[in-house]
Amino acid sequence: MYLFGDFRLDADRRRLEKAGQPVPLTPKIFDTLLFLVEHRGRVLTKDELLTALWPDVAVEENNLGQAISKLRQVLGEAPGDNRFIVTVSGQGYRFAADVTAAAPAASVQVASDAAPGRRTRAWAVAAIGAAAAALVAFAVSFSFRTADDAGALAPPRTLAVLPFKPLVSGTRNEALEFGMADSLIGRLGHLRDLTVRPLAAVRRFGDPTEDPLAAGRELGVDAILDGHIHRDEDRIRVTVRLVRVADERQLWAGQFDEPLTGIFSIQDAISERITRELAVQLSAEESASVTRSPTTNPAAYEAYLRGRFFISLAQPRNAIEMFEQAVQLDRGFARAHAGLADTLSRVPIATDASPREPMMRARAAALEALRLDDRLGEAYTALGWVAFYYDWDWAASERQFRRALELDPLDFSARLGYAHLLSNTGRAEEAITQVDQALAADPLSPLAGTLRGQFLFHAGRVDEAAGQLRGLIETNPGFWIAHSVLGQLQLDARQIEEAIASFQKAGGGGGVWAPLALEGHAHAVAGDPGRAQAILGMLTRTEHAAAPPSLVALVHLGLGDRLQALTWLERAYAEKDVRMVFLGVDPAWVPLRREPRFEALLTRMGLRR
């Protein structure tokens, strides 16, 4: 316990009080103050402070300057006032106040190893007693939080697990950093009393320079789990902390140094500790899911993590290769089968590939995943997409998506898939409710926000749809799908030039034929058949992969050639073109609504209303 001025600094409880009232500090500001106080009276060089406060992590000198500036504000120093901290020009800083060291008023439990003044340089931290060592089976240290440390704030109920950062400067293993967060989200996301932001929400915060607390505020969560990770040959090293966003208080911190095979034990320990710190009550089933290891093969798990990472980069072919490798290394790895199924089910809509082969493989992989683990929501989600995009079995698709959401209400893909199904089968208001639930889990998702605009458009709520899409484009100007949907809305409103501009903006980002086909359709509607025909030629040329037949039909329809449009739609039906699922709700097809051949297609697809 250190006393200076009106302040009392409790090192063990990691607490600063002024005149008996707690002073909220971020973990790093607390560490800075404690290190200065413990070395009071001595000039601490900037290098010494940087090494102590940011061990094994490369940071800029301005990070230290910002920490000192914030600390001066907390202590109430005005400019030029050096009652507590003196800047020694060209050298560093000195804590100048008179300090009295005193024993704590009452004994407390284990002090945090996170305080730099007492940080051990060894990766393996001394065990906190034989019982704890036997239970945890690896070196770990925890900071202690007393009841009154929590203050009046309720236990956090929303959590973001941020992508882990490199522990050692100059080294990165993005798949491992991303995968550690992904795995913890999967373990914690099933808990009823805790809302965990999905992977889609947090992956944008993977930059090592990202401010974790700023990310937490942007994500709108009560707490963040922030960590660093490093793989050194056959060992894995992890530091992790749980921080409450409202007052920036560190609730728990831990360090781990284990063989690579111990990665699941690390995840078990972190998950268990988080549930304890957040006072989450677990059912027996939830407790088992938190500590369930997906495989005993580290090489298979690493390949799986790489697959998940490639999905986040929108690189499905690389992801498929990694999941296939994981399955070959461990045939009983259910999550690898499910990851393969999920990725394959996305290929036709994401790449315009012929749907038959990837959809058949996706179905087989999902069924194998469920044979191994029939409570794997991701596998049901994949089956829901296959039934939606390929089988056109709307009842089966709904069953699969609903089952996935029963198992994991935060399954983002299942929620959006179910919303798609509802919208495309004429249940617009239910679709909007579902996408709103997806946005509640990930308020910043450009995909969910765009789909909400699309569903509003298809529901006839055009003004709301336009506002939704324009607002989203303001914050996500490069999100091509939003430009594409806005263009369709503008085209329907006969704002042709604006629609063409939107389709052209969309064309640079998607890597699929849809924006170009929509632009061709718009040129045709605008009375420019020459440009429309030129685009039609690009869609059907044989030396390159041909566009999906439904898109060719769309340009023919814009040119007023209904017979050709219907012929290409019938070809699309025969080839299981995945874009046929929009036939009943997309206003572009309204001119064909009284054509018997078109009505027959809607009836065969079960879209006739």
d(CA 258, CA 269): 12
Q: Is the pTM of this model over 0.75?
A: no
Residue 240 bridge partners (DSSP):
227, 254
HEC per residue, 350-408: HHCCCCHHHHHHHHHHHHHHHHHCCCCHHHHHHHHHHHHHHHCCHHHHHHHHHHHHHHC
User: Are 502 and 483 contacting, i.e. CB atoms less than 8 angstroms apart?
Assistant: yes
Q: What is the pLDDT of residue 135?
A: 32
CATH code for the structural domain at 130-280: 3.40.50.10070
The matching CATH number, chosen from 1.25.40.10, 1.10.10.10, 3.90.1150.10, 3.40.50.300, for 409-511 is 1.25.40.10
Domain boundaries, the chain: 2-118, 130-280, 294-403, 409-511, 513-609
Contacts of 10 (CB under 8 A, 6+ apart): 1, 16, 17, 104
Distances (CA, A) of 2 to 77, 115, 148, 508: 19, 14, 19, 61
What is the distance between the alpha carbons of residues 380 and 403, in angstroms, rounded to a whole number?
7
Whether the domain at 2-118 and the domain at 409-511 fall into the same CATH topology = no
pLDDT at position 282 = 54
What pLDDT sits at residue 67? 79
Count, in order, helices (H) and strands (E) of the chain: 26, 14
Nearest to 449 by CA among 438, 460, 458, 459: 438
Residue 247 tokens read as 């007052």
Fold entry, domain 294-403:
1.25.40
pLDDT at site 394: 97
> The sheet that has 85-88: what strands, in order across it?
44-45, 92-95, 85-88
In tens, the pLDDT along 180-202 reads: 888 888 888 777 778 888 888 88
If residue 240 lies in a helix (H) or strand (E), which one and from where to where? strand 235-244
**In CATH, 2-118 is 3.40.190.10:** no
Tell me the C-alpha distance between 482 and 498, whole Å: 14
Name the stretches of the chain with pLDDT < 70: 55-63, 78-80, 103-153, 169-170, 279-292, 508-510, 542-545, 609
The answer to whether the CB of 379 falls within 8 A of the CB of 405 is no
